[in-house]
């Protein structure tokens, strides 16, 4: 466990004991959240999964990275609703980049919904560039799908 520099928040590896709380946060911030099983599988598979908590232990956010050759894939990142618009998302992206660099990665790949304009803006301001589109990637309602914008950050 270590401090997320200058925030008073603590970073710690995600464990199976964190999954229910992480999943609850996920369900609170995304209209089509990952399943609880996706988080369990990520932890069990040994992906680079981290939680961010305040001094009282309350979950403020998390991120999950997967590594393939020299590229990290940001699978999921979220900030608790009451902590949004305070710069924590940008701080987590800084942490993601530092973590990926420490693992020898040369870039980070992610997918984001075109409708998630706030996230797109944060990613762009952080240096991620649009490199492609995945058709019908995300669920978007009964019998409906939404594309994903694929973005990359060169480290």
Q: Is 151 helix (H, G, I), strand (E, B) or coil?
A: strand
Which residues, 6 or more positions from 140, have their beta carbon under 8 angstroms from its beta carbon? 32, 146
What angle, 0 to 180 degrees and rounded to 10, lies between the N-to-C axes of helices 117-125 and 88-102? 50
Beta strand 59-68 pairing with 129-139? unpaired
Q: How far is CA 111 from CA 7, 22, 130, 136, 138, in A?
A: 27, 20, 10, 12, 10
Instruction: Provide the pLDDT for residue 6.
Output: 77
Place of tokens 């999943």: 23
Which residue positions in the chain have pLDDT lower than 50?
Answer: none
CA nearest to 126, candidates 149, 108, 101, 104: 108
């Amino acid at each position: 466990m270590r401090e997320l520099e200058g925030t008073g928040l603590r970073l710690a590896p995600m464990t199976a004991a964190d999954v229910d709380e992480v999943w609850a946060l996920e369900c609170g911030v995304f209209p089509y959240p990952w399943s609880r099983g996706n988080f369990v599988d990520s932890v069990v598979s040994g992906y680079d999964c981290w939680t961010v908590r305040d001094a009282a232990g309350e979950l403020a956010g998390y991120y999950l990275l997967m590594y393939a050759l020299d590229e990290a894939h940001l699978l999921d990142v979220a900030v608790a609703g009451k902590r949004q618009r305070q710069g924590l998302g940008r701080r987590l992206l800084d942490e993601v980049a530092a973590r990926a660099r420490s693992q020898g990665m040369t870039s980070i790949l992610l997918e984001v919904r075109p409708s998630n304009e706030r996230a797109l803006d944060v990613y762009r301001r952080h240096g991620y560039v649009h490199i492609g589109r995945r058709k019908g990637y995300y669920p978007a309602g009964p019998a409906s799908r939404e594309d994903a914008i694929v973005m990359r950050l060169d480290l």
